[in-house]
Structure 1
Amino acid sequence: MAQEEKKEPWLNYLALTTVVLAVCATLATFKGGGYSTRSILVQNQASDQWAFYQAKSIKQSLAEMDRGLLEREAHRAGKADPMLAAGLKGNADRIAKYEQEKAKIKEKAEQLEKERDAAQRHGRPFGVAVIFLQVAILLSSIAALLKKKYVWVTGVSVGLIGLVEFANGFLLFM
C-alpha cells in the first residue's frame, strides 16, 4: 500500500490567505477602475465647462468692443441720441449677464475639478493595492508549489501592505 503524504497544517492557511488576497485584489481592481473612469468622465465635464466659459468670455469681449464703438459714436454725435443711449444700456446689460453666467460656469467647472481630484485620490491606493496583492498571490503560489513556509510568510507580509492600501482607497488615511 502506498503511503499518503502528510499535509502540513500551514498549507490550509496558505490556501485561505491566497483566496482572501485574490478577492481583495479583484475588488481593488474593480474599485480602482471605477474611480479611474469617474475621474476621466468628470475631467471631460470640467473641460466642457471651461470651453463654455471661454465662449462666454469671447461673447463678453465682443460686447465690450461694441460698447467702445457705441461710446465713440455717442462722443462724435456730441448730443444725446436716444438710440445710442438705448444701445449702450442694452450692451451694458449684456456684458453684466455674461459676467454672471461666467461666474456660475466657473463655479461648476471648479466643483467638477474637485470631484476629479477626489476620484484620483481614491483610485491611486487601489492601484497600489492591486500590485502588492498580486505579488502576494504570486508568492503564495510559489510557496504552495515549493512547500516553503518562509515564502508564504513573505507573501502574507506583502499582502498586508496591499490590504492597508486597499483600505486606504476607501478611507484615505495615508
Structure 2
Amino acid sequence: MSGHGFHVHGPHDHEVEHAAHGGDGFSNKIAVTTAILATVGAIFGYQAGATQNNAALFKNNAAIKKTEASNQWNYYQAKSNKQNLAELALSLPGIDTDKYKAEVERYKAEKADIKGKAEELEATSVNWDRQSDEQMHQHHRWAQAMTAEQIAISLAAITLLTRKKWLEYASYAVAAAGLGLGVLAWLHL
C-alpha cells in the first residue's frame, strides 16, 4: 500500500523490486524466470479452463441425445402397445381382419424406423460422452501443468529470499516437469 511517501509490501515484492532496479544478476535472472513461468502458467490455466468447459458442453450434449433416445424408445413402446391391441383385435369374432392385419404390419414398420432412430441417438450420446471424457483427461493434464508452474514460481520466490542455488535448480526442474505435462496435454496424451 502506498501513500504520502510511505510504502509497505511483502518480502517477495521487495526482492523483485530490488532485482528490477539493482544490478544483481542472480536476482534479475530469477525475476525474469518468474515472469516467464507466470506467463506459461497463465496459458496452461486458460487451456485447463477451456477443456473443462468443453467437457461440460459435451456432457450436456450427451444428456440431450440420451433424452431424445429415451423419447424415441417411449414412442416405440406406444407403437408396440398399439400393435398388441391390433393383434388382440384379430382374435375377436366379427371384425375386419384385413384392417387389423394391415395395422399390425404398419406398426411393425413404424417400430423399425423408430428403433433405428433411437439406436442412432444412443450412439450419438455415447460419442458425446467419450468426447467429454477425453476433454476431462486433457483438462487434468493442463491443470497439472499449471500447478507445476505455480510451484516453480513459489520455489523461485523462495530462491530470491534465501539465495540458495539448489532451490533455483529445483524451480527449474519443476518448471520443466510442468512444461512436459503441458506438452502431454497439447498432444492429448
Q: TM-score range by the shorter chain?
A: 0.7 to 0.9
Count the aligned residue pairs.
168
- Give the residue type in structure 1 aligned to 2:68: F
Deviates more, 1:15-24 or 1:49-58: 15-24
Match of 2:83 among 56, 60, 67: 67
Q: Which runs of 5+ in 2 are unaligned?
A: 1-21
How far is 1:60 from its partner?
0.7
How far is 1:125 from its partner?
0.6
Distance of 1:145 and 1:102 partners within structure 2? 64
Q: Which runs of 5+ in 1 are unaligned?
A: 1-5
Q: How do 1:15-34 and structure 2 match up within 5 A?
A: 15-34=31-50
- Give the residue type in structure 1 aligned to 2:77: S
Asked if the contact 1:49–1:105 (Cα under 8 Å) also holds between the matched residues in 2, the reply is yes
Partner of 2:19: none
Partner of 2:66: 50
Partner of 1:118: 134
The secondary structure found in structure 2 opposite 1:76 is coil
How far is 1:112 from its partner?
1.0
Q: Once the two structures are superposed, what CA deviation does each residue of 1:9-52 show, in whole Å capped at 9, x if it has no partner? A: 33333223212211111011000000000000110110111111
Distance of 2:187 and 2:108 partners within structure 1? 50
Q: Once the two structures are superposed, what CA deviation does each residue of 1:75-102 show, in whole Å capped at 9, x if it has no partner? A: 2237762321232122112211111111
Partner of 1:39: 55
Asked if the contact 1:24–1:166 (Cα under 8 Å) also holds between the matched residues in 2, the reply is no
Deviates more, 1:73-82 or 1:19-28: 73-82
Partner of 1:89: 105
* TM-score for the superposition, normalised by structure 1: 0.87
Partner of 2:115: 99
Partner of 1:167: 183
Partner of 1:3: none
Q: Once the two structures are superposed, what CA deviation does each residue of 1:92-137 show, in whole Å capped at 9, x if it has no partner? A: 1221111111122122112212211221121111111111111110
Distance of 2:94 and 2:156 partners within structure 1? 91
The secondary structure found in structure 2 opposite 1:172 is coil
- Give the residue type in structure 1 aligned to 2:97: D
